[in-house]
Amino acid sequence: MMAVHETQGEEEFADEPTEGGVDEVEARVGLAYTLKQVKRDSTARMGFYIIAFITAIAAFVSIDYYLLDYAMAKAIPFLHHPERDPEVINTLLPPVGMENGLGSGTWEHPLGTDHRGRDILTRLIYGTRIAMTVGFMATAIGLVGGTLVGAVSGYYGGWVDDVLQRITDTIYAIPFLVLVIAFMSAFGRDISYAMVGVGIASIPVFNRLIRSRVVSIREEEYIEAAKAAGVKDRNIILRHVIPNSFAPVLVQATLQVGVSILIVAGLSFLGFGAQPPTPSWGQMLAASRNYMLPAPTFSIWPGIAILVTVVAFNLLGDGLQDALDPRINN
Amino acid sequence: MSEEPLLKVENLKTQFFTEDGTVRAVDGISFEVYEGELVGLVGESGAGKSVAALSVMRLIDSPGVIVDGEVTFKGKTLVGYEETTGEPGEPPELVEREEMLTEEEMRTQIRGREIAIIFQDPMESLNPVFTVGSQLREFIELNRDLSGTEARAEAVQMLREVGIPEPEKRYEQYPHQFSGGMRQRVLIAMALACEPSLIIADEPTTALDVTVEGQILDLVEELQRKYDTAFVWVTHDMGVVAEICDRVNVMYLGEVIEQANVEELFYDTKHPYTEALLASMPRPDRTTGELNPIRGVMPEAINPPSGCRFHSRCPDAREVCRRVHPDLRAIENGDHDGDENGRVHRAACVKHDAFDVGYPESEPLENEATGGFEVGLTQEGSR
Ligand SMILES: Nc1ncnc2c1ncn2[C@@H]1O[C@H](COP(=O)(O)OP(=O)(O)O)[C@@H](O)[C@H]1O
Ligand code: SF4
Ligand SMILES: [Mg+2]
């Protein structure tokens, strides 16, 4: 038998692979593969590092908030209590090295203080918790909901598809912010409702994306082949349809985290969302608006924080789009 | 060889109910496949070969419906209906017979395990985001009771079996790193993985170049001997048929029009369409160089011609062919009825005595083959 096969050596291989060790990842989807690709794309890498940095801070402050009752904030020299008003109140101080009508900046409060004399740097840092939690959770809700609805809708087609898509269209027709505000008016002004509301409002985004992928993948021959091999519908969706939608969905999800952060900041600005004294960027921005003239820097900082974060997610999203493009074989 | 066929298809009809009308893609075909046999299903593109293959597996999706007929495999009823009723142009009311396998049974007992299918395009039949090895392993795990590591070892062994060099390394690679021929080998490995009794191969070598095709055909013959798997080999290429098939069903416009073992089909052809197919293929044993492509185009399956469906292109067509629709009948073979296994040579053409509908007296018919549409240009065509 071997003799037969040796004569087949002439048969050409496509491109002789450059690597192919045993540790090669099994799939061109998933975390390991994505990280590998991200490392190769400089835009994605930059976004990734910024996000990693902010996420690390958010994780740190979340631990401090939930488990340690701000013990770390008290222990670390340059931080202050993020919520409580300080004993000595110096309101609306400018950043260090600057002066305004109310005083000059000190190293005690490197970015200045807010209208109640709280340290802006501390509140910015502790504001990452709300921003990241809301960004990720809202996106996760939209992603899971949208993926399920979209996959079922696209795979089965017919009336199932019609019903689900008409519902989606209806949700989509209502402006995002109006939808979330209506949702929060009905259930409560709390930040967790903002999260769920934004999550539900972003279901259509993922639903449509997944559905369009599924509709085209459904016609692929490997789906027919899987069916012919006796694979269950559920497994076909899980093993073939969803992984093949992984790249565009990941890109969309990344962008959507940025969008969610922006939306929730907007909501907080309007008074829906994180309630004082919880530090959140949107609410800092809202508070600062009354002090634009005496202390313009107060509003600049949360603005910068939101900007940097949202841009980082956009950078990563764009970078991923290129890095995961299946048409580019690397 | 055993007497009971492994697969028996009787009067199978599959139609697509489209906006333009009912496409009679498979219109009452019957054929058998015996154990360990390589049976060809041959015909021009659009003849209904793929639909027939998918119908056997019950993989027809809406708007297609298997509207009638019976498919039995190893005593199990894959397709079988009580009487069917319905308006023409509408999908009929189908009442499945009790013994007909449920969708669940098809999935767990037949597909992949007993009957495997290999599709035409090896570039498209593998999921691009997973390694070849993981797909093969998944398939083995799905269908056989093996642990992950055993399944992996088995998958590597299968890759070796189908002649993929360095199977360990190849296991880790993605489909795009394989050439067409290599991918088709992977698909063959997948099909063989559960040692099914029947493999349906739908033009598996059509997308490959001739050298690679030859190698794949060699491999299939070798594996077929080794595993004694029966094959239904779908192709439009008579050369492939000649190379590997034991018996052949020739399809035209949804019907099987000739059925014979491969020698008789080639050397004692009974149907003008088969003759035309043979004439259109290069043959080393016939030195007279010219190739004769079949004249005209196959009509639409939505509105098949009356009488013999080939009458619009048949060089032997006569008036009677337009009226009488010939069924597939045994044609006497002079010295014997059927081959050594008792399988008869059948054809659906009224020019044979078995039909006796007045072909000899009938007027010749002018058509695309006899030059009727090009009168004045090619006079020598009309007799
Ligand atoms: N999904 C479908 N919808 C409508 N018509 C179809 C569909 N699939 C196949 N057909 C029709 O069925 C006939 C047979 O097709 P097919 O079996 O693919 O031919 P072959 O495999 O012999 O080339 C063709 O006329 C084709 O147009
Ligand atoms: S029945 Fe008539 S038209 Fe049909 S193949 Fe025979 S001779 Fe030709
Ligand atoms: Mg086909």
State if residue B47 touches ligand 1 by the CB under 6 angstroms criterion: yes
Q: What is the DSSP string of B89-104?
A: TSPPB--B-TTBPPHH
Characterize the bridge pairing of strands B198-202 and B230-235: parallel
Interface with chain B: mutation pick from A6, A8, A19, highest number of B CBs within 10 Å: A8
Q: What is the DSSP string of B249-296?
A: EEEETTEEEEEEEHHHHHHS---HHHHHHHHTS--TT--S----PPSS
Predicted local confidence at residue A219, as pLDDT: 80
* Rounded (10°) CA dihedral A249, A255, A261, A267: -90
Residue B209 has pLDDT above 50, yes or no: yes
Q: How far is CA A13 from CA B158, B161, B212, B216, in A?
A: 19, 18, 12, 15
Size of interface A-B (CB pairs under 8 A): 114
Q: Which run of H or E residues covers position A233?
A: helix A233-235
Both structure tokens of A144:
């899971």
- pLDDT interval class at B50 (50, 70, 90): very high
Are A18 and B177 a contacting pair, CB within 8 Å?
Answer: no
Q: Look at the block and give the residue holding tokens 């016609």.
A: A219
Are B158 and B212 a contacting pair, CB within 8 Å?
Answer: no
> Hey, are the CB atoms on A230 and B112 less than 8 Å from each other?
yes
The per-residue pLDDT of chain A, averaged, comes to 81
A31 half-sphere exposure, CB direction, 13 A CA radius: 0
Predicted local confidence at residue A27, as pLDDT: 64
Residue A103 has pLDDT above 80, yes or no: no
pTM of the model: 0.75
Predicted local confidence at residue A24, as pLDDT: 45
Q: Give the DSSP letter of residue A27.
A: B
Q: What percent of chain B has pLDDT over 90?
A: 50
The residue whose CA is least distant from atom 20 of ligand 1 is: B46
- pLDDT interval class at B289 (50, 70, 90): low
**Structural domains in chain A, sorted by start:** 42-329 (1.10.3720.10)
> Hey, are the CB atoms on A232 and B107 less than 8 Å from each other?
yes
B58 vs chain A: nearest CA distance in angstroms?
9
Residue B192's closest chain A neighbor by CA? A229
Average pLDDT over residues B4-14: 94
Closest ligand, as measured to the CA of B53: 1
In B136-165, the residues whose Cβ lies within 8 Å of chain A are 138-139, 142-143, 163, 165
Predicted local confidence at residue B166, as pLDDT: 92
Of A81, A90, A86, the closest CA to residue A122 belongs to A81
- CB-based contacts of B115, cutoff 8 Å, min separation 6: B7, B56, B57, B73, B196, B197, B198, B199, B200
pLDDT, tens digit (0-9, with 9 covering 90-100), for B212-251: 899 999 999 999 989 899 999 999 999 999 999 999 999 9
State if residue B16 touches ligand 1 by the CB under 6 angstroms criterion: yes
Predicted local confidence at residue A120, as pLDDT: 85
Predicted local confidence at residue B356, as pLDDT: 86
Name residue B86's amino acid. G
Q: What is the DSSP string of B357-370?
A: SSTTTSPB---TTT
3-state secondary structure at position A184: helix
In whole angstroms, give the CA distance from residue A28 to residue A39.
15
Q: Give the DSSP letter of residue A96.
A: B
> Hey, are the CB atoms on A8 and B163 less than 8 Å from each other?
yes
Residue A316 has pLDDT above 80, yes or no: yes
ipTM > 0.90 for the complex: no
Average pLDDT over residues B20-27: 93
Predicted local confidence at residue B307, as pLDDT: 92
**B243 or A88, which is more confident?**
B243
Q: What is the side-by-side order of every strand in the sheet holding B64-73?
A: B21-33, B7-18, B64-73, B76-79
Q: Which run of H or E residues covers position A61?
A: helix A42-66
- Beta strands in B80-136, from DSSP E residues, in sequence order: 115-118
Residue B65 φ then ψ, to 5°: -140, 135
Residue A161 has pLDDT above 60, yes or no: yes
> Hey, are the CB atoms on A229 and B111 less than 8 Å from each other?
yes
- Beta strands in chain B, from DSSP E residues, in sequence order: 7-18, 21-33, 38-42, 64-73, 76-79, 115-118, 198-202, 230-235, 247-252, 255-261, 329-330, 346-347
pLDDT, tens digit (0-9, with 9 covering 90-100), for A119-153: 888 889 998 998 999 999 999 999 999 988 998 88
Both structure tokens of A97:
């090295």
Both structure tokens of A281:
């960027």
Mutate to test the pocket of ligand 2, among B253, B275, B349, B363 (most ligand atoms within 8 A of CB): B349
Helices H / strands E in chain B, number of each: 10, 12
pLDDT, tens digit (0-9, with 9 covering 90-100), for B301-337: 888 899 999 999 999 999 999 999 999 999 876 555 5
In whole angstroms, give the CA distance from residue A15 to residue A21.
16
Both structure tokens of A158:
């017919």
Predicted local confidence at residue B382, as pLDDT: 37
**B378 or B345, which is more confident?**
B345
Are B70 and B80 a contacting pair, CB within 8 Å?
Answer: yes
The per-residue pLDDT of chain B, averaged, comes to 86
Interface with chain B: mutation pick from A222, A250, A330, highest number of B CBs within 10 Å: A222
- pLDDT interval class at B55 (50, 70, 90): very high
Predicted local confidence at residue A322, as pLDDT: 78
- CB-based contacts of B112, cutoff 8 Å, min separation 6: A228, A229, A230, A231, B139, B142, B143, B194, B196
The total of other beta-carbon atoms located within 10 Å of residue A317's CB is 21
User: What spacing in Å lies between the alpha carbon of A237 and ligand 1's midpoint?
Assistant: 26
> Hey, are the CB atoms on B172 and A15 less than 8 Å from each other?
no
Predicted local confidence at residue B372, as pLDDT: 52
In whole angstroms, give the CA distance from residue B205 to residue B189.
15
- Angle, to 10 degrees, between the axis of helix A281-288 and the axis of helix A296-323? 150
The total of other beta-carbon atoms located within 10 Å of residue B343's CB is 21
Interface with chain A: mutation pick from B51, B109, B117, B172, highest number of A CBs within 10 Å: B172
Q: Which run of H or E residues covers position A100?
A: strand A99-100
pLDDT, tens digit (0-9, with 9 covering 90-100), for A204-253: 999 999 898 888 888 888 888 888 888 888 888 888 877 877 788 888 99
User: What spacing in Å lies between the alpha carbon of B125 and ligand 3's midpoint?
Assistant: 14
The answer to whether the peptide bond before residue A277 is cis (omega within 30 degrees of 0) is: yes
Which is it for the CA torsion B215, B217, B222, B226, positive or negative?
positive
Average pLDDT over residues B157-185: 90
Given B111, B125, B212, which is nearest A11 (Cβ)? B212
Predicted local confidence at residue B206, as pLDDT: 84
Predicted local confidence at residue A26, as pLDDT: 56
Predicted local confidence at residue A329, as pLDDT: 47
Mutate to test the pocket of ligand 2, among B321, B366, B370 (most ligand atoms within 8 A of CB): B321
Q: Look at the block and give the residue holding tokens 């639409």.
A: B300
**B123 or A187, which is more confident?**
A187
Predicted local confidence at residue A5, as pLDDT: 40
Both structure tokens of A258:
């940025």
Predicted local confidence at residue B175, as pLDDT: 87
Q: Look at the block and give the residue holding tokens 């795009």.
A: B176
Predicted local confidence at residue A20, as pLDDT: 38
Predicted local confidence at residue A11, as pLDDT: 42
The total of other beta-carbon atoms located within 10 Å of residue B279's CB is 17
Residues of A with CB under 8 A from a CB of B: 1, 4-5, 8-15, 17, 20-22, 24, 26-29, 158, 220-222, 224-225, 227-232, 239-240, 243-244, 246, 326, 329
Are A155 and A218 a contacting pair, CB within 8 Å?
Answer: yes
Ligand 2, pocket residues at CB < 6 Å: B 271-272, 308, 310-311, 314, 316-317, 321, 326, 349-351
* Rounded (10°) CA dihedral A217, A218, A223, A225: -120
Average pLDDT over residues A13-35: 53
Both structure tokens of B134:
């993981």
- pLDDT interval class at A48 (50, 70, 90): very high
Contact with chain A for residue B173, Cβ under 8 A: yes
